[in-house]
Amino acid sequence: MSTQLPQIGRLAQIVVDGTIAAYTKSYSVDQSGNVVKEFVLGSDNLAQWPVAAMGNFEGSISMEQLYIDDTYLDLLEAGNVIEIIDYPLGNAAGKPMRTYQCIVSSISQTIDQEAIVQYSLEAEIIAPIVRGTV
């Protein structure tokens, strides 16, 4: 059993054409893989399945960020590929880093009388996730 304590999430950036376009307020990443299973007549137990393997992976990212300008709306309309960089333990040297290539699939805007305007953004992951360190 690990004695390491959980860490507080620190930073995620949205990068467009190599330039940081935003810092997120919160985000979540959902990933899944499709299992390919092909059956033939008489394959009534696992040992007889001719094909059972991992197929395609897919994923999406949901995030919130404070409103600055219409950059995200422009990205949605243009269908541009954006890069989302996730620094779960901060961006100090040696800390983990994940990079996602995405296309923005939806945007919603929240305006409260007593709060700052913020965007909620959904993006589909379109390439393998690149894992590394800062």
pTM here is: 0.70
Nearest 10 degrees: CA dihedral of 24, 63, 115, 112?
Answer: 160
Beta-sheet pairing, 118-125 with 96-110 = antiparallel
Alpha helices in the chain (DSSP H): 71-78
pLDDT given at position 20:
77
pLDDT of residue 9: 58
- What are the tens digits of pLDDT across the range 63-101? 887 766 777 677 777 888 888 888 877 777 888 889 999
Q: Sorting pLDDT into bands at 50, 70 and 90, what band is 4? A: low
pLDDT of residue 55: 79
Please calculate the CA angle 57-58-59 and round it to the nearest 5 degrees.
135
Residue pair 123/102 in contact (Cβ under 8 Å)? The answer is yes
Q: Which domains does the chain have, with CATH numbers?
A: 11-133 (2.30.110)
Counting DSSP H helices and E strands in the chain, the numbers are 1, 8
Local confidence band at 13 (pLDDT 50, 70, 90 cut-offs): confident
Could you say which DSSP state residue 72 is in?
Answer: H
